[in-house]
Structure 1
Amino acid sequence: MSISQGLRDWLLSEEPTSRRQAKFASWYNGWLTLRSNTLAMLGLFVLTFLILCAIFAPFLATHDPFAQDLGQRLLAPGEAGHFFGTDHLGRDIYSRLLYGARISIYIVLLVVMVAPLVGLIVGTVSGYAGGWIDIVLMRVTDIFLAFPRLILALAFVAALGAGIENAVLAISLTAWPPYARIARAETLTIRNSDYIHAIKLQGAGPFRIVTKHIWPLCISSLVIRVTLDMAGIILTAAGLGFLGLGAQPPSPEWGAMISDGRQYILDYWWVATIPGIAIFAISLAFNLLGDGMRDVLDPKEDNS
């Protein structure tokens, strides 16, 4: 028997002999479920490709993304060694796309580290504490949910000032309420269960119960929501960049690139269209991967 076959049999064992084996077996079964979803794997492939392009942008770029050459402005794709053409300042669109991927992924990662955590804390505290604490926190959540995300982000950026950091903060402030709702719903179904009462009888306090026993059960639902929300985060960031409130010139942010090319869209379509295709590709990849992750992580789904 080969090592790989032995490892596979160990992972697929119906009677795990240790907690570690059970955990690895669960991950492996999840991977098998995800791998069987063709669209999810397509999304994962596109997303991995874009991340690798962002990481190795200095090696893949053919030109300086900030270098201007008015003598080569608005060149069509393929002319003079410019794969995707040049913009109105003669900058290479291909190189700017590669470096712009870094900005988009950077924004997504920062928002993902902030918004779900805030939503998890607010939702679990609200659901577990109940009473007036629940009422106050949920009314605050309702206020944030009452406004369209982009409009609310615009208001925060206008108050904080333009820039990537302020755009990330604004998007995070508008993205946390759905996570709070999900975490509260999960907490309400868990807090009166028998094993929570058993933990209380053992002397565990509210902080330990929430952080050690409720949070882990909320993670899968939040991960599903995060993967499905990433496309919206990218579109919001691109919208802020399009309006000049996100990454500032000469940063090669995709939304700002579309904004620069909108006045040339009829005669020089590639200036705005190619960054738009990049936004479409990464948004679609996140949505496809999110659907696959939902099939893997949602306990209500039948993965058999």
Structure 2
Amino acid sequence: MSEQTLKQWLLSDAPASRMQARVAGLYQGWLRLTSNWMTLTGLLILTALVLIAACAPLLAPHDPFDQDLLNRLKPIGFDDHYLGTDSLGRDILSRLIYGSRITLYIVALVTLIAPVVGLLVGTVAGYLGGWADQILMRTTDVFLAFPRLVLALAFVAALGPGIENAVLAISLTAWPPYARMARAETLTIRSSEFIAAIRLQGAGPLRIITRHIWPLCISSLIVRVTLDMAGIILAAAGLGFLGLGAQPPSPEWGAMISEGRRFILDHWWVATIPGLAIFTVSLAFNLLGDGLRDVLDPKDGGHG
């Protein structure tokens, strides 16, 4: 099949099979996603972050834990320390590269926990209604009543410092918005005619929720998750800054800022560079989230 024929097949208005319709839909969504240069920029930054994290041992010029007290607080471009050194003489670039692994680790774990819990709680509450809805939504309201970082601090204080406990604390504070969104969509879906038809065929609540409601909530959930990533990264950096996240000598970006804040006036690069890394990755997730909202959200799709 030639390139022109393949393009015509992908852009066909009358697909001949379900597979063609699915592939064509993915292709057209990709075209809309990449037609916005800001979204494409965010995607490229995050792709670069994943590649940097995967190839950290090859890219890092030094061991991120090696200390050289004779070369502490050296400026950018000193010798082969391209971004300078910190107060213990450790190479900042190497610690930044290895720190990207911790950032992605936190993002991945929170993404696996918070949206799943929120989707489960929201769809069950929306479909069952009654006392189940009241109990689940009032519990959600309790979590929403507190600022996320304050609640995360309370959980970490109870669980103890550490990266796993920080991930658990962030997840426990991140799921309520997903539950609210899933419940709102479920309330709309459960009154539709196709759900009534499925119910008449004998399908139980569990089958209806998992096989028919969840797939319809996934696209909005993906958009919300992507837009929330910046907040998750900032919460993790905040916990690290306060010494409640990843523990020394781990090269976590928030902890690097905390360590460098003592020298911010005379040796600005120690704290500024990891801060710029957090800003860049957070911005990339927001740019990508805006593009995904245009592609996946049926209420806003196609306006990018």
TM-score interval, normalised by the smaller of the two chains: over 0.9
Q: How does 1:259-298 map to 2 (within 5 A)?
A: 259-298=258-297
Instruction: Name the aligned partner's letter for residue 18 of structure 1.
Output: S
Q: Indicate the residue corresponding to 1:52 in structure 2.
A: 51
Q: Residues 302 and 50 from structure 1, CA distance in 2 versus in 1: closer, same or farther, beyond 3 angstroms?
A: closer
SS in 1 for 2:167: helix
- Residue by residue over 1:222-251, the C-alpha shift from the partner in whole angstroms, topping out at 9 and shown as x without a partner, is 001000000000000000000000000000
Q: Indicate the residue corresponding to 1:99 in structure 2.
A: 98
1:8 CA displacement: 1.4
SS in 2 for 1:178: helix
Q: Residues 302 and 290 from structure 1, CA distance in 2 versus in 1: closer, same or farther, beyond 3 angstroms?
A: closer
What's the TM-score, normalizing by structure 1? 0.98
Q: Which runs of 5+ in 1 are unaligned?
A: none
Q: Indicate the residue corresponding to 2:115 in structure 1.
A: 116
Q: How does 1:1-304 map to 2 (within 5 A)?
A: 3-303=2-302
Instruction: Name the aligned partner's letter for residue 150 of structure 1.
Output: L
- Residue by residue over 1:149-193, the C-alpha shift from the partner in whole angstroms, topping out at 9 and shown as x without a partner, is 000000000000111110000000000000000000000000011
What's the TM-score, normalizing by structure 2? 0.98
Instruction: Name the aligned partner's letter for residue 112 of structure 1.
Output: T
Instruction: Name the aligned partner's letter for residue 289 of structure 1.
Output: L
Instruction: Name the aligned partner's letter for residue 71 of structure 1.
Output: L
- Partners of 2:225 and 2:14 lie apart in 1 by 33
- Residue by residue over 1:202-261, the C-alpha shift from the partner in whole angstroms, topping out at 9 and shown as x without a partner, is 111110000000000000110010000000000000000000000000000000000000
- Partners of 2:300 and 2:258 lie apart in 1 by 42
Instruction: Name the aligned partner's letter for residue 136 of structure 2.
Output: L
- Partners of 1:69 and 1:151 lie apart in 2 by 37
Instruction: Name the aligned partner's letter for residue 207 of structure 1.
Output: L
- Partners of 1:4 and 1:204 lie apart in 2 by 45
- Partners of 1:21 and 1:117 lie apart in 2 by 30
CA-based RMSD: 0.8
1:47 CA displacement: 1.0
Instruction: Name the aligned partner's letter for residue 237 of structure 1.
Output: A
- Identity in percent: 71
1:4 CA displacement: 2.2
- Partners of 2:96 and 2:179 lie apart in 1 by 34
- Partners of 1:198 and 1:302 lie apart in 2 by 28
- What is the total number of aligned residue pairs between the two structures? 303
Q: Which runs of 5+ in 2 are unaligned?
A: none
1:55 CA displacement: 0.8
Instruction: Name the aligned partner's letter for residue 24 of structure 2.
Output: A
1:3 CA displacement: 2.4
SS in 1 for 2:79: helix
